[in-house]
Amino acid sequence: KQEVTQIPAALSVPEGENLVLNCSFTDSAIYNLQWFRQDPGKGLTSLLLIQSSQREQTSGRLNASLDKSSGRSTLYIAASQPGDSATYLCAALGGNKLVFGAGTILRVKS
């Protein structure tokens, strides 16, 4: 059974700082690893998707990496802004199931 863990559970940083969010998964037989953003009271917005054959994906200030052998993915946010404040969720697709972690609550202080 796939289990996804995200560390830290919450993070508070000053504006402009670079930061890393961590995601680990127990079953390395995955099709992809997807990162989402969730604003309070809203649904999930897809940020980046890394296919199992890829090592990383980039979109603007975001960079996500995937290491299947160690069961880890990281989301790197460069030059953080107050507008980046949200909950960040990772999800692993494998064995027909999309399994989520509990998320990291990010607060960027101005």
Partner 1 sequence: EAGVAQSPRYKIIEKRQSVAFWCNPISGHATLYWYQQILGQGPKLLIQFQNNGVVDDSQLPKDRFSAERLKGVDSTLKIQPAKLEDSAVYLCASSPWPVGGNTEAFFGQGTRLTVV
- Which residues are at the interface with partner 1 (CB under 8 A)? 4, 6, 31-32, 34, 36, 41-46, 49, 51, 89, 91, 93, 96-103
C-beta of 97 vs 107, nearer to partner 1: 97
- Structure-token pair, residue 4: 């996804």
Backbone angles phi, psi at 55, to 5 degrees: -105, -30
Distances (CA, A) of 21 to 1, 51, 59, 66: 23, 19, 16, 12
Contact between 19 and 11 (Cβ < 8 Å): yes
C-beta of 43 vs 60, nearer to partner 1: 43
Q: Please, what is the minimum distance in Å from the beta carbon of residue 34 to partner 1?
A: 6
C-beta of 89 vs 108, nearer to partner 1: 89
Contact between 62 and 72 (Cβ < 8 Å): no
Q: Please, what is the minimum distance in Å from the beta carbon of residue 16 to partner 1?
A: 28
Q: Please, what is the minimum distance in Å from the beta carbon of residue 102 to partner 1?
A: 4
C-beta of 18 vs 60, nearer to partner 1: 60
Q: Please, what is the minimum distance in Å from the beta carbon of residue 79 to partner 1?
A: 26
Distances (CA, A) of 86 to 11, 49, 80: 10, 18, 12
